[in-house]
Amino acid sequence: MTDRTGGPLPKPVLDPDLLSRCISCGFCLPACPTYAETGDEASSPRGRINLMRALQTGDLAPDDPTLKEQSSQCLGCRACEPVCPAGVEYGQLLEQWRDHQWRGHRMPVLARALMLVAGRRGLFRLLGRLRGTPRTNVAETSAAASDEASLMLGCFERVLFPRVGRAALALVPGLTVSPAQGCCGALHAHNGDTATGERLAHRMGEDLPGTIVTTSGGCAAHLASVLGRARVRELSDHLATSSSYRPPGELRVDGRRARVALQDSCHLRNGLGVWTAPRDLLAGIADYVELPSAGTCCGAAGTYSLLRPRESRRILTAKIDEVEAAGVDFVAAVNPGCLRQLHTGLRRSRSRVKVVHLAELLLMAGENRCPST
Ligand code: SF4
Ligand code: SF4
């Protein structure tokens, strides 16, 4: 194929097959948090896909202010995917869009800095060791060798929330823990560097033997998109489908069964279709309370809370009001970003409700104790 001057056509920015699937029906509009917030067609999935098409055809230049704004304003929550009758893979389109839109000097400085840090395997190994990275239980691992599975520690998670990995290993003691592992590349893929995102995911696949079990919904979805669904299990999915898992006990508060809600991980729910597993596990240890917006983004959205703090805070404030109204003791999270975001919101509102990773809550139920944070 050649252009009008006889030269080769430039490589398209977005995969034409993916881009052509949208039939502009608008079924996705009610599911989109940014459209709900603004009522602006450009802030909807359909509007953004039309912007991508304009970028693809050259009708809009990459520096067009609407393109810049909308590639950044989108949460990347993928709530538009499960409701789409045409099977539009919006998450993939967004990654390709940002890969072009945020290339070079156009990449947000903060995102670039985080990606640089996340790429330092040695640094995370050292910090993880200082924070108490869980270690493989050799006896348990050799007993489970025929069904090999590895625990992914996460890059920022192992430093910010080291108890999560320890709880996961206590719940599934047969998991292998490779201390050499780095970042899975989800951060890069979601922030305009898909090549590094894929490279890091492949490296993770080489470093971790067997099934990769992760406590992060966002990392699970990214790894599954690169390594294949069969290689990756998010922890709740892994536990809920394990024949050997039994509810570890009951979570009690003030002498009664605890009331627990869940904040879904957007990528786990919308990307991998995993949403009943964490609910079933929580219902096994406590009275489960469904938040009206449990399946809607909390505003963390990877780097969104850092790059778009005002919008993120607005989303979070509504979420915290809902948590308070539900009268729960705990909110469980299945992704470190959601954990950090909800923790910030609950602390800011001086709430008595605690946000805890699902793995920790299950472990606490087994040990018959309440969390201290
Ligand atoms: S993304 Fe899907 S649901 Fe939304 S307008 Fe396009 S085809 Fe319809
Ligand atoms: S990813 Fe989320 S915010 Fe972005 S268009 Fe889809 S539903 Fe809207």
For the stretch 143-169, pLDDT in tens is 444 468 999 998 888 888 999 999 999
The strand pairing partners of 2, in sequence order, are 8
Supply the residue whose CA is at minimum distance from atom 4 of ligand 2.
74
Kindly report the protein residue whose alpha carbon is nearest to atom 5 of ligand 2.
Answer: 45
Quote the pLDDT of residue 252: 94
Shared domain check, 114 and 102: no
236 shares a domain with 120: yes
Residue 122 has a pLDDT of 80
Q: Are residues 358 and 263 in the same domain?
A: yes
Distance CA 135, CA 308 (A): 37
* Residue 118 and residue 41 share a domain: no
Q: Specify if 372 maps to a domain.
A: no
Rounded distance from Cα 87 to ligand 1 centre (Å): 8
Same domain, 175 and 193: yes
User: What pLDDT score was predicted for residue 180?
Assistant: 81
CA pair distance 363, 361, nearest whole angstrom: 5
What is residue 10's predicted lDDT score, i.e. its pLDDT?
60
Is residue 7 classed exposed, middle or buried when 0-12, 13-18 and 19+ CB atoms within 10 A define those classes? Answer: exposed
263 and 360 assigned to the same domain: yes
Same domain? For 177 and 222 the reply is yes
**Going by CA atoms, what residue is nearest to atom 8 of ligand 2?**
32
Please tell me the distance from the alpha carbon of residue 42 to that of residue 36, in angstroms, as a whole number.
12
Find the domain containing 215 and state its range: 110-240
Q: Is residue 27 part of a domain?
A: yes
- CA 230 to centroid of ligand 2, rounded, Å: 26
What separation in Å is there between the alpha carbon of 55 and the centre of ligand 2?
A: 18
How many separate domains does the chain show? 3
Is 286 a domain residue?
yes
Quick check: is 373 in a domain? no
Residues of the chain scoring pLDDT < 70: 1-10, 136-147, 368-373
Residue nearest to atom 4 of ligand 1 (CA): 28
**Per-residue pLDDT, 145:** 47
pLDDT at residue 116, rounded to an integer = 84
301: region left, alpha or beta (phi > 0 left; psi from -120 to 50 alpha): left
Residue 146 lies in a domain: yes
pLDDT for 129 equals: 77
**Ligand 2 centroid to 32 CA: how many Å?**
5
**Which ligand lies nearest to the CA atom of residue 29 in the structure?**
1
